[in-house]
Amino acid sequence: MAKPTKTPRPRAAAPKGFRDYFGAEVTERAEMLSRIAQVYHAYGFDALESSAVETVEALGKFLPDVDRPNEGVFAWQEDEGDWLALRYDLTAPLARVYAQYRNDLPTPYRRYAMGPVWRNEKPGPGRFRQFYQCDADTVGAASPAADAEICAMLADVMETLGIARGDYVIRVNNRKVLNGVLEVAGLSGDDKEHERGIVLRAIDKLDRLGEDGVRELLGAGRKDESGDFTKGAGLSEAQAGTIMGFAGAQSRILLKAKATLKEMEADTNFDPILTAGYKLLSQQVAQIEKPGTLGPNQPAAYFANDRVIEYLRDLVEGSDVGREGVDELEHMSELLNAQGYGPDRIIIDPSVVRGLGYYTGPVFEAELTFEILDEKGRPRQFGSVAGGGRYDDLVKRFTGQAVPATGVSIGVDRLMAALREKGRIGSARAAGPVIVTVMDRDRMADYQAMAAELRRNGIRAEVYLGNPKNFGNQLKYADKRNSPVAIIAGGDEHAKGVVQIKDLILGAQIAENATLEEWKDRPSQYEVPRGDMLSKVREILARHGLDRNGLAE
Amino acid sequence: MAKPTKTPRPRAAAPKGFRDYFGAEVTERAEMLSRIAQVYHAYGFDALESSAVETVEALGKFLPDVDRPNEGVFAWQEDEGDWLALRYDLTAPLARVYAQYRNDLPTPYRRYAMGPVWRNEKPGPGRFRQFYQCDADTVGAASPAADAEICAMLADVMETLGIARGDYVIRVNNRKVLNGVLEVAGLSGDDKEHERGIVLRAIDKLDRLGEDGVRELLGAGRKDESGDFTKGAGLSEAQAGTIMGFAGAQSRILLKAKATLKEMEADTNFDPILTAGYKLLSQQVAQIEKPGTLGPNQPAAYFANDRVIEYLRDLVEGSDVGREGVDELEHMSELLNAQGYGPDRIIIDPSVVRGLGYYTGPVFEAELTFEILDEKGRPRQFGSVAGGGRYDDLVKRFTGQAVPATGVSIGVDRLMAALREKGRIGSARAAGPVIVTVMDRDRMADYQAMAAELRRNGIRAEVYLGNPKNFGNQLKYADKRNSPVAIIAGGDEHAKGVVQIKDLILGAQIAENATLEEWKDRPSQYEVPRGDMLSKVREILARHGLDRNGLAE
């Protein structure tokens, strides 16, 4: 018989594109999700946790006609033949769950879900194949009131997490308006699907390519800096003009308003202080250029939204679907204004398109408007942290009946990054435990009793459990644990009935700045009677603001 | 060209063995896990969330020499060749993470983890292929103090969740004692692995087969009721006697103690009231028969643990490993007693074996001792909800160096069931939202303002978003949502500046019991000025004890 070959040791590494989360990364996310869940719950949304694994058949969408349907998803075949896959979002499972339980669930069904999803994509820097989503959807309600509710709730979520009004804005648009524009431009036929695709993708690139670049893509095509040529939609000048009127609505409205302001200024009789109309219009311009400039009690802010709606109504003139879209936008705007969600928080913005093909009506996006520095140190707006819209066909796949639905998905990692940026989380030194050091192995029970006493009083505490021989290692350990305080109690202390309490944060500060004399004084170490241990530890924690944990209040 | 064939509709069903969790099932679990996390955190354990997907190589253990290594796990092959799999527990990923990050992590490393794991097993009633685990482990600490800490923490978890002292017990044993017994029985050689396997499995069946059944399995073999024959370990009478002395330690200790009591009673001079020794011994018997009978201040309880330790020390006489095991048990017992975790909470119990082969020292189990009725209506103890022990070889797979580790895993679903049984969760009517009904579609903004007012004051509330035409449907919806209160405000109410508030819980009670007269009075519906809506709703919620949510305090 052959000798058994020695198995090589396995590699200790997470699979490519996957990562592990440690300590505060986990608890801060849990805390954030829990606060979002509270808002969702207050609005009457119910929690749903569907299984991470779905049949490929139920997930749909990722079913190219090949043997192994694992494009974009992680999929495998069961021994009995079914293909299974990890969910790639929380919306496809919702459609399956609603179709499966529709007779038992209330209609409308408001549900929220939070958890990991998986994408079988090429990993890149900051791009992982497992990440969290946090969704809220209303299934079975056709009214724009349902869409408006989601937008209001999204605003509440932002403020509950400590993102101040003015630092975020919810942008709302409607796909039907875009469809109306396409109709007016003569691009609504079944035979124009290819062109419509190019148009949608081109509009989505407005931010990056500017109006000229988008116009090239609508026409013959566009050559980028590298010399690569992208074939365009081949639209006529007039068609492209209509589309650009939509895509560039914001800037066109501004141009028109600014031209009016100029005209007024050119008027020789013009007196800006007396002319209320001039003031109103310039406030509108400011509001459109930087939403949130005006508070909800300033009528000009509302006029700015109205101005956009009027502009869009003109643009889709003659298209039924277009008018329907503008009506829905107006209805949402009225409902939101009536509840106090004015244009300082929620604005109509025709530049919001949202990539996904399945949106059929209102679409929305939560954007953070404060500035951060990008990789190259240039200031830029933080950008989008959530998005969603109305999709009416997802359940139909299962039941044959269209079921109206609308919802939003929060990008958990981006929102975490924003909260960190704003100092709402991770700003304070993560609260490490108080370390009870081990000076005398035989007195382990005493040390554990000290830790237990601290814990009973709400203070995180632990006994050092490594080899206690080298005391330096214990202090290094305390440092690695971010411990604020170490307790030291050897034989001498025991005999005197005292403990030494070391303020490790102050100690670190002194170590950085102190003179030798100061250092020798050890002002960061206190000898107190054993009975005063708890109060002294409390005093030190309070001194460093560590008597409270978690998300900043 | 062939006509495109119509795709059949996908089945709306979770894959076999997977399920969805709705509403309170999700939030109650989240609440329970959050409370457990708080205890773990207070003990200095840090959160870790490893990826759900691991390489099959890193998971190990499930690698039969076949093309498709998916026995027991869900596995698939990456395009580049790596086999990936869903984690089947939280311990294997911990070993991988510790090996991967050992230079950055503190040593000892205390970590907790909670989340779903997946098993590719045949699903059965109540057996799912995705379920939650909730673990705490200490890696890098060899001292029994680390094991004792886990046991104390487990007791704290039980009480934090509202399981009263006396309703649970942590049972502790040590694998080395078993190894000592095997050594004494002459079963420690490498060539005896087969016999040891049979012995371990036989001991694990003690509860079910009784001492006689186990003794048959240790000898020639055993025929069960169906006539099937299981071949035994083929041990001699003497060997089997040693093993049974261990497996049946509990009953032997009791027999011996009871025999002593009988002797004392038979003594003609015996006066039970005066004889302290008799009382002490009978208390010990009671404590061993039903742990928790004695409080921590009654010395007999401690003597009961000591009695077990002494018995085991005799049993492994002559085996070094056996003595080591008994010493460790004694050390843990002393540490725990000194911290106040007496035998009313934590007991030494030789019948705890724990199935997994990788345990190398202390093993422990949290058992709930209160009675429930089984499927057949017979009373039985609730049983085990958590278990763990020391495993020193898991990290070695990766690094070649043994790293001591100990930990516990809580069975989340079983613990949830126990809390439900004890009325700690799910006992109160799940708090549905207040429903603001829609009487007049044009007044949607008013209705939303009412819901917003309630929410701002901490009351869950929503506006009905379905088709409002049929008012009966709105009340049916409220019923399905478990709503405690409905708000009704039509044109008449609007004109009078009032709202109707319907107490739906009282309404349901009246509907069951009321006479026609009572019913007509509608004592469950109140007309109040619009400005009093909030206070009236508060009053109704308080009347039904719905002013607080979540896990019972």
pLDDT in tens, B424-471: 776 444 678 999 999 998 899 899 999 999 999 999 999 999 999 988
Chain A contact probe: residue of B5, B7, B11 with most A CBs at under 10 A: B11
Rounded to whole angstroms, the Cα distance separating A488 from A530 reads 11
Q: Say if residue B346's pLDDT is above 80.
A: yes
User: What residue of B is the nearest CA neighbor of A96?
Assistant: B12
Rounded to whole angstroms, the Cα distance separating B314 from B302 reads 19
Between B111-125, B273-287, B495-509, the lowest mean confidence (pLDDT) is in B273-287
The share of chain B scoring above pLDDT 90, in percent, equals 48
Q: Say if residue A63's pLDDT is above 50.
A: no
- Give the pLDDT of residue B1: 46
Categorize the per-residue pLDDT at A550 as very low, low, confident or very high, splitting at 50, 70 and 90. very low
| 3-state class (DSSP) for residue A521 | helix
Q: Say if residue B528's pLDDT is above 90.
A: yes
- Give the pLDDT of residue B427: 47
Q: Which residue is associated with the tokens 């119509």?
A: B6
Looking from the CA of B503 toward its CB, the CA atoms found within 13 Å total 23
Averaged pLDDT for residues B141-149:
95
Q: Which of B9, B48, B334 sits opposite A398 (nearest CB)?
A: B9
∠ CA A345-A347-A351, nearest 5°, is: 135
Categorize the per-residue pLDDT at B516 as very low, low, confident or very high, splitting at 50, 70 and 90. low
- Give the pLDDT of residue A426: 67
Specify whether the CB–CB gap between A209 and A385 falls below 8 A: no
Nearest in space to B33 (alpha carbons), one of B416, B542, B449, B431: B416
Averaged pLDDT for residues A509-513:
77
User: What residue of B is the nearest CA neighbor of A108?
Assistant: B466
ipTM, 2 dp: 0.87
Helices (H), A60-171: 91-101, 144-160
Rounded to whole angstroms, the Cα distance separating B54 from B58 reads 7
Residue numbers in B near A96 (CB within 8 A): 12-14
Q: How far off is chain A from B260, nearest CA to CA, in Å?
A: 34
Q: Residue A41 has which token pair? A: 């719950």
Whether residues B477 and A107 touch (CB distance < 8 A) is answered with yes
Q: How many CB atoms lie within 10 A of CB B42?
A: 22
Q: Say if residue A437's pLDDT is above 70.
A: yes
Where is A322: in which H helix or E strand? Answer: helix A320-338
More confident residue, A225 or A51: A51
Q: Which of B11, B339, B400 sits opposite A452 (nearest CB)?
A: B339
Between A145-149, B353-357, B506-510, the lowest mean confidence (pLDDT) is in B353-357
Residue numbers in A near B446 (CB within 8 A): 338
Whether residues A339 and B445 touch (CB distance < 8 A) is answered with yes
Categorize the per-residue pLDDT at B519 as very low, low, confident or very high, splitting at 50, 70 and 90. low
Specify whether the CB–CB gap between B113 and B49 falls below 8 A: yes
Categorize the per-residue pLDDT at B553 as very low, low, confident or very high, splitting at 50, 70 and 90. very low
Q: How far off is chain A from B388, nearest CA to CA, in Å?
A: 18
- Give the pLDDT of residue A66: 42
Chain B contact probe: residue of A465, A467, A475, A551 with most B CBs at under 10 A: A465
Q: Which of B22, B449, B462 sits opposite A44 (nearest CB)?
A: B462
| 3-state class (DSSP) for residue B417 | helix
- Give the pLDDT of residue A548: 55
Paired residues of A170 in beta bridges: A346, A366
- Give the pLDDT of residue A277: 73
User: What residue of A is the nearest CA neighbor of B452?
Assistant: A339
Q: Which residues contact B470 (CB under 8 A, 6 or more apart)?
A: none
Categorize the per-residue pLDDT at A106 as very low, low, confident or very high, splitting at 50, 70 and 90. very high
Question: Got the DSSP string for B66-101?
Answer: SSS--SBS-EEE-TTS-EEEE-SSSHHHHHHHHHHH
Between B4-13, B44-53, B95-104, B497-506, the lowest mean confidence (pLDDT) is in B4-13
Q: Which of A20, A140, A445 sits opposite B97 (nearest CB)?
A: A20
Specify whether the CB–CB gap between A485 and A435 falls below 8 A: yes
User: Dihedral of the CA atoms A250, A251, A253, A259 (nearest 10)?
Assistant: 160
Whether residues A145 and B463 touch (CB distance < 8 A) is answered with yes
pLDDT digits (tens, 9 = 90+) for B376-416: 888 877 888 999 999 988 889 899 999 999 999 999 999 99
Whether residues A107 and B145 touch (CB distance < 8 A) is answered with no
Q: Which residues contact B264 (CB under 8 A, 6 or more apart)?
A: B270, B275, B277, B278, B281
Q: How far off is chain A from B133, nearest CA to CA, in Å?
A: 15
Residue numbers in A near B135 (CB within 8 A): none
Nearest in space to B355 (alpha carbons), one of B409, B283, B424, B397: B409
Q: Say if residue B272's pLDDT is above 50.
A: yes
pLDDT digits (tens, 9 = 90+) for A463-497: 999 999 988 899 999 999 989 999 999 989 999 99
Rounded to whole angstroms, the Cα distance separating A351 from A90 reads 26
Q: What are phi and psi of B497, to 5 degrees?
A: 70, 30
A&B contacts, CB < 8 Å: 278
Rounded to whole angstroms, the Cα distance separating A478 from A458 reads 19
Rounded to whole angstroms, the Cα distance separating A219 from A232 reads 5
pLDDT digits (tens, 9 = 90+) for A354-395: 665 678 999 999 999 888 887 788 888 888 899 999 998 888
Between A31-40, A290-299, B503-512, B524-533, the lowest mean confidence (pLDDT) is in A290-299
Chain B contact probe: residue of A5, A7, A22 with most B CBs at under 10 A: A22
Whether residues A466 and B108 touch (CB distance < 8 A) is answered with yes
